[in-house]
Amino acid sequence: MTTAREIMTGDADCVGENETLTEVARKLRDLNIGSMPICGEDRRLKGMLTDRDIVVACIAQGDDPSTVTAGDLAQGKPVTIGADDDVSAALATMKEHQIRRLPVIDGHDLVGMLTQADVARSLPDGRTGDLLKYISEPSVTRT
């Protein structure tokens, strides 16, 4: 059994819940990434923030990204995986929620990020296409 901890990218950077979206946008640019976890003062995960969130939930609404904070956009309970959970559970979570980046927590603390690329690197040669197809296919909900 391979765990999320074994293949995740450790030491995930967070944006603070009190950082402005302008500051967050600069971090995303400098790190050349499209999303980051939002952490509180206690380093606990508050949500995820994407570059798209900044555009759609702030700029397109006419709000000022230099006054809106990351915490203002954190909503609901973030989708996560436990550090010692099996990678198959992580894949099922990614598929169910149609996400490609999954925060990894140990207790309540963020310890890393599990990305589609992390999972792909752990697969045997030639299976990456299967992974992309699996995560991208919508889950079927039965009623």
**What pLDDT was estimated at residue 133?**
60
pTM: 0.78
Residue with tokens 């450790």: 10
- Cα separation, 45 vs 23, in Å, equals 18
DSSP-derived 3-state class of residue 45: strand
Q: How many CB atoms lie within 10 A of CB 60?
A: 9
**What pLDDT was estimated at residue 92?**
87
Q: Name all domains of the chain by residue range, CATH numbers in brackets.
A: 4-136 (3.10.580.10)
pLDDT tens for residues 11-67?
A: 888 999 999 999 999 999 999 999 999 998 887 889 999 999 999 999 999 999 999
**What pLDDT was estimated at residue 143?**
42
pLDDT tens for residues 118-143?
A: 888 876 655 545 555 655 666 555 44
Write out the H or E segment, with its range, that includes residue 46.
strand 45-50
**100-123 residues labelled b (16+ CB within 10 A) or e (exposed):** bbbbbbeeeebbbbbbbebbbeee
Which amino acid would we find at residue 20?
A: T
Higher-pLDDT residue of 88 and 59 is 59
Instruction: Tabulate helix, strand, coil % of the chain (nearest 5).
Output: 40, 25, 35
Higher-pLDDT residue of 108 and 63 is 63
**What pLDDT was estimated at residue 112?**
92
- Cα separation, 110 vs 140, in Å, equals 30
**What pLDDT was estimated at residue 108?**
84
